[in-house]
Amino acid sequence: MRHAGGSTRRQRGVTLIEATVVLAVTAITAGAVAPGLRGFIEKHELEGAASQLASDLQFARAEAVWRNTGLRLSLQSQSWGACYVVHTGAAGQCRCRESGPAQCDGDAVELKTVQLPAADHVALVANVSSILFDPLHGTSSPTATFGLSTPSGRAVNQVVNLMGRVRTCSPRGSVPGLPVC
């Protein structure tokens, strides 16, 4: 378009058609990436929870020896998710709460509480409700398998043997890079 001084004027901005094309391409790309992104996030949430549990099992064992007193890691399932507590005392003396540290009765002392809310999509189950680490040798009683899993079927087990050692594996090889249980 030529104006009265001989100059041309260029239009600036985006047409409705151009904006619609960009929006459509963005929507298609987001739709294609979203499922893979959810799987990526879920895998890292599972690996993070499994790593923390293994670390806390080793912590309970080492603290039992260092403090020269028996320590427990007790697991509880709640309506809001799962929780485990590292504590002194008997198995039933500490109870998880939805927020904050565990509530302990009598002479039991809570050292650490970890909550796994159901909203995080990582479930925790075990074949025992509590495991005791001996202060003299660091052994565990009983042996235990703690299983962490996601809705998509990924799973990691933390297996504690009689010597108190922790081994990480994946049932059915559902998490690549870990040995199969």
Q: What is the pLDDT of residues 94-104, one digit of tens each?
A: 999 888 889 99
Residue 117, helix vs strand vs coil: strand
**Rounded distance between C-alpha atoms, residue 46 and residue 151, angstroms:** 11
**Rounded distance between C-alpha atoms, residue 181 and residue 102, angstroms:** 32
Are the C-beta atoms of 37 and 140 separated by less than 8 Å? no
Task: Say what the pTM is.
Answer: 0.78
Is pLDDT of 2 > 60?
no
The residue type of 133 is F
Q: Give the contacts of 82 (CB within 8 A, at least 6 positions apart).
A: 75, 76, 115, 116, 123, 124, 125
The H-or-E segment that residue 49 falls in is helix 16-67
Structure tokens at 65: 């020896």
Q: How confident is residue 3, by pLDDT bands cut at 50, 70 and 90? A: low
pLDDT at 158: 97
Q: How confident is residue 30, by pLDDT bands cut at 50, 70 and 90? A: low
